[in-house]
Chains A and B, each alone.
Chain A
Amino acid sequence: MTFELSSLFILGLAYMAMLFVIALATDRGWIPQRIVRHPVVYVLALGVFASVWSYYAATANAFRDGFGYLAPFIGISLAFLFSPLMLRPILEITKSYQLSSLADLLAFRYRSPVAGTITTLVLLMGVIPLLSLQIQAVANSVALLAPDTSQTTLAIVFCSLITLFAIFFGTGRGAGREKHEGLVMAIAFDSVVKLLALLTLGLFAIYRGFGGFAEVDAWLQTQPELLASIKEPDAPGSFHVTALLFFTAAVASPHMFYMIFNENNDPKALTLASWALPLYFLLLSAPVLPILWAGLKIGSTAPLEFYPVSLGVDYGSELMTLIGFLGGLSAASGLIIVITLALSNMCLNHLILPVYQPSARNDIYRWLLWKRRALITALIWIGFIFYYLPEDKLSVRAIGNVSYIASLQFLPSIIALLYWPRGNKKGFLAGLGVGVLIWFAFLMLPVLTGTNLLAFSDVNTREIIAGSLVTNVILFVAISLWTRTSAEERASADICALDTIRRRNRTGLVARSPEEFIEKLTKPLGERTATREVLQALRDLKIDKQEKRPYALRLLRGRLEANLSGLLGPSIAHDLIDRFLPYTIESETGATDVDVIESRIEAYRSNLSGMAEDLDNLRRYHRQVLLELPLGVCSLGEQNQIVMWNNAMAKLTGISSQEVVGAQLKDIEEPWGSLIADFTSAEAAHAHKRVVQVKNKRRFISLHKAIIEKSAAHKIKQDGIVILLEDLTETELLEEELTHSERLASIGRLAAGVAHEIGNPITGIACLAQNIRDETNNDELRSMARQIIEQTDRTSRIVQSLVNFAHSGSNKVDHTSEVVSIEECVNEAIALISLDKRRKDIHYRIACKPGLKILGDSQRLLQVLVNLINNAHDASPAGSTITISSKLVSGSVQLAVTDEGTGIPESIRDRIFDPFFTTKEPGEGTGLGLSLVYSIVENLNGHIDIISASSRRENPGTRVILTFPCYDDAGLPVENFAKAL
């Protein structure tokens, strides 16, 4: 059975078109986000690992190594099954520091641009032949199906389509940060196609080739040699070396690194991949044996590795042939696209940018985008040339197999990155250099040139790999131990290592605001890029543009470095940030930011168990105690930076802890900043009742402090000050009120005494004057006697008001308690006042809700109302209106007397309830009226408020509001108006 090239061409073209459509539909948002961002899509995209190496070569490997063909699948599956040990920590680092490749990661960890460059070169050497293998596999499968056609034409078309796809969907807008959802979706689709293709072929092989599962076993029993070769153990170590190689490949192969870490949207997706991806590989590897045996049974003449395609031809099924071909095409296309994207980033960051950087005048994003596109094109076509040029196509396969082994040399540095902070750049470079040299001399060179340097001995490939790896490890460890590590590198090592809590706490940034960040970065990046990057970092951190807190600016600096690392690679980003946004103060090693420690513990909290969990619970409990303490707590760290600001403090000052933690004292809103700063610098440990003006109100604050001395212990480096703020405003106001009451009481006692002492002589004078008036006929004398009587009457009234005041001030409840109708009382008061014919022309408006009642003495309430209405009358101009209203508010009766007078000046408002205080002319009033009202209202369990509504233009008078508890007819308190009625 042969096919026309055109049919295969159309099939390939249709498949690639489908990939374009899927990617385009995803990028345009035609596919719902819940599907695009589903963890299963991520898991399937990770299936890119299964290239033609797994699709085609697995059958040949199974024939040669038996179950040994499973070693690559087992190796990579182990990396995922135990992802919390390696993949998850690396995911955290790459996400936090925007590292897009292994070269970025190693350059970041070992703080060396050279490390990044060497890693890129080694990976390029290892991966380019793999690219050629993919192209070759597609071309060979076409040649198998259409022997008379030109493989090269199809390879060129295939490479062109892949190039276009990678450029359109893999490079985005050049910012280097965005996820390529269209690409991920297309790669996931690729993975589904190759899995379905292999499963279909496997079932076809079992049922069409043998007739069922039992028949396969029966046939195998007739093939003892084949059975033995499958189940015989491999050569010692061979399986392990291959498994180890592919275990490393999870991180060391550019395409896997790219997919696992760059395109991860959610860490939970990696948790799913931890078991789902091994399951995917298991399903992918299971059909390999039936396909191989079905091919062997029918005596296929095709090369072993192409059995997935030739099976359909051998059994006369066109559909199966095309399914096999499509599976191979999907395996090859996915790998080429992802690998070139990953390599283009690496080449740009570690080969081009260290040598040539765009001018700040250029649009950096555009420059990077075009360089990335050019690199993608170059890499795919280098792969093509590598496939096209060699005469002997077998050598390409051999080189591909050997070149991939180079990535194993990264295993020691990857493990050290997470678990051995002492490993340093020199050790890494020496180990990697010698390891790669051994690999090149003894594995690559013989394949390239045919000269075997170890021809005299019987050392095999497996032993060379093991030897190179052991040499690498020994050199890495030895040189790392013998040489010094720079402080810069130690800092990076601490960030990457998982068992360390050491962080260098550096402060004193040169730039003091986001605007200054932009200004400083304009020089290397240009204004547009600098502004965009700083704004992006602010958005990422949800920080305001006006932010000036040192803590927030340190975060901004870190985020900027991470974001620029995603754009330009870690080495250049670090160098750029260090040069243009340097720190001015560097604290000693071991000092730590409390908030950094806390955020780390919070992030790992669910991982804690046993004693660690208990300690964490204890920490949280103590923290909660401090947060909920009813006193304001504020602790200060180095340079008066605020470390803690509890809830009471936030309530007292109106400044939330988010706004203030990390800021310096001087940056806090007044008056709190200067209050705390003055107290901090003062020697006294306590300050009693400091008065502060907050929104025109006086507040009385007591402050206490304790100094945390620097510990002599090596591991404890914390020092600072704890400050407690106690709000005494309420207490102060109560004290003032108590003093006022005491004063009233003493004046009352005095008044009672004076009234008693003056009353008797006055009565005597009045009696004598009456006698004179009645017993004399002298008109002049009678007139004088009348005047004496009038004056004594007036004195008696004053004395009587003093007696009334003295009685009202006593706490004795000897007054009658009855249900009093507010409306009746108001009407009576108005009637009484109207009897005075000498009064001005004033209108009275009564707006009382009927039925409102309070508990008390109707005569005393009447006295209160008469006093208030009289005061209002005196303050009102002729022709104005006095309004007396009452309403029910939350179970209380509110009775208001409102005039249209001049209001009460602010300066005397505090004194109007004082006895003998009056603004009237001498002889017009005693100054006891309001004082009496105050006392009576207090005795009736009410409350008095005076609102001088001078701001109200339409009614610039005074409103006196009396509030009493509301009662019903039976004398029971009521909750709402309905009941009151």
Chain B
Amino acid sequence: MYISRSILLLLMFSYLLFLTSVDWVSQPQGAWYRPFIVGLLVILIAALCHREQNSDDL
């Protein structure tokens, strides 16, 4: 099974972001929409990674 580098990068990025953002998201004084900002960031990176995805015909 071939896993493209961009997907591996996305996996690593998401995991690291999850680890580092947990505290920031759950700060009592923090804005309630912080998890959505993190989500948006992951989606943005994913969109960039998937742009590199191939377009092989099935």
Alpha-carbon distance A253/B11, docked complex (angstroms): 24
Query: In the assembled complex, which residues on chain A have CB atoms less than 8 Å from the CB atom of B10?
Result: 81-82
Q: A70, A95, A285, A604: which contacts B2 (Cβ < 8 A)?
A: A604
Q: Does A279 contact B (CB under 8 A)?
A: yes
How far is the CB of B1 from the nearest CB of chain A, in Å?
4
Min Cβ gap A94→B in Å is 10
Q: What size tier do the contact residues of chain B reach?
A: 20 to 34
Q: Are A418 and B26 in contact (CB under 8 A)?
A: no
Verify A282–B4 contact, CB threshold 8 A.
no
Known: A81-B10, A230-B32. A96 touches B58 (CB 8 A): yes
B4 cross-chain contacts in A, Cβ below 8 A: 84, 607, 609
B56→A81 contact, CB < 8 A: no
Closest residue of chain A to B42 (Cβ to Cβ) is A81
Q: Do residues A82 and B26 form an inter-chain contact, with CB atoms below 8 A?
A: no
Interface string of B10-37 (1 = CB under 8 A from A): 1100100000000001111101110110
Q: Cβ of B2: which chain A residues have Cβ within 8 Å of it? A: 498, 604, 607-608, 612
A908 beta carbon closer than 8 Å to chain B: no
A289 at the interface (CB under 8 A from B): yes
Q: A82-B10, A275-B46, A289-B32 given as contacts; is B58 within 8 A of A92 (CB)?
A: yes
With A81-B46, A282-B43 in contact, do A67 and B35 touch (Cβ < 8 Å)?
A: yes
Which residues of A from 277 to 315 have beta carbons under 8 Å from B? 278-279, 282, 285-286, 289
Cβ–Cβ < 8 Å partners of A230 in chain B: 32
Contact A278 to B35, CB < 8 A, known contacts A604-B2, A604-B56: no
Q: Are A603 and B32 in contact (CB under 8 A)?
A: no
CB-based contact B43/A603 at 8 Å = no
Contact with A along B38-58 (1 / 0, CB 8 A): 011011001100100111111
The answer on a CB contact under 8 Å between B56 and A84 is no
Taking the closest CB of chain B, its distance from the CB of A920, in whole angstroms, is 72
For A264, give the chain B residue with the smallest CB separation.
Answer: B58
A908 to B39, CA, bound (A): 90
Min CB distance B8 to A, Å, is 10
CB distance from B57 to the nearest CB of A (A): 7
* Chain A contacts for B57, CB-based, 8 A: 267, 603
Q: Are B35 and A606 in contact (CB under 8 A)?
A: no
Bound CA–CA A70/B33 (angstroms): 12
- The dominant DSSP class at the A interface is helix
A197 to chain B, nearest CB (A): 19
Q: With an 8 A cutoff between CB atoms, is A228 at the interface?
A: yes
In the complex where A67-B35, A95-B58, A217-B32 touch, is A84 in contact with B40 (Cβ < 8 A)?
Answer: no
Give per-residue flags for A483-523: 1 if the beta carbon is below 8 A from chain B beta carbons, else 0. Answer: 00000000000000111000000000000000000000000
Q: In the bound complex, do residue A274 and residue B1 qualify as a contact, i.e. CB atoms below 8 Å apart?
A: no
Residue of B nearest to A418 (CB): B1
User: Which of A89, A95, A286, A499 interacts with B36 by CB under 8 Å?
Assistant: A286
The answer to whether B1 and A419 have CB atoms under 8 Å apart is yes
Q: Is A91 an interface residue (CB 8 A)?
A: yes
CA distance A418 to B2 in the complex (A): 12
Chain B residues, Cβ within 8 Å of A95: 58
Q: Quick one: closest B residue to A273, CB to CB?
A: B50
Is residue A845 contacting chain B, with contact meaning CB distance below 8 A? no
Decide if B32 touches A216 in the complex (CB within 8 Å).
yes
| Nearest CB of chain B from residue A231's CB, rounded to whole Å | 5
- A268 close to B (CB within 8 Å): yes
> Nearest CB to that of B33 among chain A residues?
A286
**Is the CB–CB distance between A603 and B56 below 8 Å?**
yes
Residues of B within 8 A of A157 (CB): none
With A268-B55, A606-B55, A606-B56 already in contact, the answer to whether A82 and B11 are too (CB < 8 A) is yes
Which of B29, B36, B46, B54 is within 8 Å of A607, CB to CB? Answer: B54
| Residues from chain A with Cβ under 8 Å of B11 in the complex | 82
Most A CB contacts (10 A, CB to CB) among B40, B53, B55, B57 go to B53
Report the Cα distance A660→B43, complex, angstroms: 49
A92 to B56, CA, bound (A): 11
A413 CB to nearest chain B CB (Å): 17
Q: Are B32 and A84 in contact (CB under 8 A)?
A: no
Within 8 A of B (CB), among A418-457: 418-419
When chains A and B are docked, how far (Å) is the Cα of A611 from the Cα of B57? 23
**A646 nearest CB across to chain B (Å):** 25
Name the residue of chain A whose CB is nearest to the CB of B31: A217
CA distance A963 to B39 in the complex (A): 81
A227 at the interface (CB under 8 A from B): yes
Closest to B47 in A: A275
Q: Contact between B58 and A609 (Cβ–Cβ < 8 Å)?
A: no
- In the complex, which residues of chain B have a beta carbon less than 8 angstroms from the beta carbon of A92? 58
Q: Are B36 and A231 in contact (CB under 8 A)?
A: no
For B51, the closest partner residue in chain A by CB is A271
B28 partner residues in chain A, CB cutoff 8 A:
227-228, 231
Q: What are the interface flags for A49-76 relative to B under an 8 Å C-beta threshold, 1 for contact and 0 otherwise?
A: 0000000000000000001001000000
Contact partner of B58 among A221, A267, A272, A608, CB < 8 A? Answer: A267
Q: A220 an interface residue at 8 Å Cβ cutoff?
A: yes
Known: A499-B1, A604-B56, A606-B54. A279 touches B7 (CB 8 A): no
Q: Which residues of A contact B54 (CB under 8 A)?
A: 606-607
User: In the bound complex, do residue A274 and residue B26 qualify as a contact, i.e. CB atoms below 8 Å apart?
Assistant: no
Q: How far is the CB of A500 from chain B (nearest CB, A)?
A: 9
Verify B55–A267 contact, CB threshold 8 A: yes
Instruction: Write out, one digit per residue, whether chain A residues 79-102 have a CB within 8 A of any chain B CB (1) or not (0).
Output: 001101100010110011000000
Proximity bits, A465-493, B CB within 8 Å = 1, else 0: 00000000000000000000000000000
> With an 8 A cutoff between CB atoms, is A619 at the interface?
no
Residues in B neighbouring A85, C-beta threshold 8 A: 3, 7
User: Does A267 lie within 8 Å of B56, measured CB to CB?
Assistant: yes
By beta carbon, the residue of chain B nearest A83 is: B50
In this assembly, does A233 line the interface, its C-beta being within 8 Å of a C-beta of chain B?
yes
Whether A278 touches B53, Cβ cut-off 8 Å, given contacts A81-B10, A231-B28, A286-B36, is no
User: CB-nearest residue of chain B relative to A610?
Assistant: B5
- Measured in the bound complex, the distance between the Cα atoms of B1 and A607 in whole Å is 10
Which residues does chain A contribute within 8 Å of B55, judged by CB atoms? 267-268, 271, 606
| Contact A271 B50, beta carbon cutoff 8 Å | yes
- CB contacts (< 8 Å) of B33 on chain A: these are 286
Q: Told that A70-B35, A82-B10 touch, could you supply 5 new A-B pairs with CB distance under 8 A? A: A84-B3, A92-B58, A267-B56, A267-B58, A607-B56
Task: List 19 interface pairs A-B (beta carbons < 8 Å), by A numbering.
Answer: A77-B39, A91-B58, A95-B58, A217-B32, A231-B27, A232-B26, A233-B26, A267-B56, A275-B50, A282-B39, A282-B43, A418-B1, A497-B1, A498-B1, A498-B2, A603-B56, A603-B58, A605-B56, A609-B5
* Residue ranges of A at the interface with B (Cβ–Cβ < 8 Å): 67, 70, 77, 81-82, 84-85, 89, 91-92, 95-96, 216-217, 220-221, 227-228, 230-233, 267-268, 271-272, 274-276, 278-279, 282, 285-286, 289, 418-419, 497-499, 603-609, 612
Interface residues of B (CB under 8 A from A): 1-5, 7, 10-11, 14, 25-29, 31-33, 35-36, 39-40, 42-43, 46-47, 50, 53-58
